[in-house]
Amino acid sequence: MFSFRRKTTLIAISLILAAGLSFLQYRYFKSLAESDRKIQVIVATSDIEAGESVEAKLGLKTIPHSAYVKEMYLPSEKVTGYAKVDISAGSYILKNMVSAEKVPVVEEGMRRVTIGVNLTSSLAGKIRPGDVVDVGWVPKDQKEASKIIAEKVVIFDVVNKMGEDTTKKEEKKNQYEKESKIPAVVTIIVTPEQAVAIKDYETRGSLFLMGY
């Protein structure tokens, strides 16, 4: 009787071990199959220049699922907008490469320069990349007259005091959201000569933007 129970116990243990081994093998081979699974992502079919619409130059590329990152676009996702940077043919289109709004482009011979602003000097903060403005100057003393020092310049970027994009949509509202929308630094596109002059004027007075 004792021998029978012992055999039964050993058989039960063997069955449990076999089932566990089978399960582990199943999980192992399943993970291998998933890692080898192929998916399609969106790539550039030809060179795309910064500021250019991406919609007409998109195609699909098949890659291993293990190579996929969440910044890539899948075929089910609609890709519209403008390239923030130059994108080479065959490159993956990443979400941080595309802007829904038209992107200001620094043309050959032009330069970017930053100036400090506040809520008052930046048209109450109602400025966005791509806007065209004039730059005005008010001297620290009254020995010189206030004047316009640059006309019809394009705004390249607007950030707050934390260096964050003021036009970026907040995922969650919080008590600091309003403050994050106040511009602290504006980058504008100008000629090299204008850039030098603007920074010189900034040290001798206050700059402000004038909108159209």
9 in a structural domain: no
Same-domain check for residues 188 and 143: yes
How big is the CA angle at 144 (ends 142 and 146), to the nearest 5 degrees? 95
Please provide the distance, in angstroms rounded to a whole number, between the alpha carbons at the two ends of the chain: 101
3-class SS shares of the chain: helix, strand, coil, % to 5: 30, 30, 40
pLDDT at 5: 66
- pTM of the predicted structure, to 2 decimals: 0.61
Give the pLDDT mean for 85-89. 92
The domain in which residue 73 lies consists of: 38-99
Looking up tokens 């100036």 gives 115
Structure tokens of 72? 């890539």
Mean pLDDT of the chain: 85
Q: How confident is the model at residue 111 (pLDDT cuts 50, 70, 90)?
A: very high
33 in a structural domain: no
Domain final position from 99, 121, 137: 99
Q: How confident is the model at residue 29 (pLDDT cuts 50, 70, 90)?
A: low
Q: How confident is the model at residue 107 (pLDDT cuts 50, 70, 90)?
A: confident
Element (H, E) at 202: helix 192-203
Same-domain check for residues 132 and 89: no
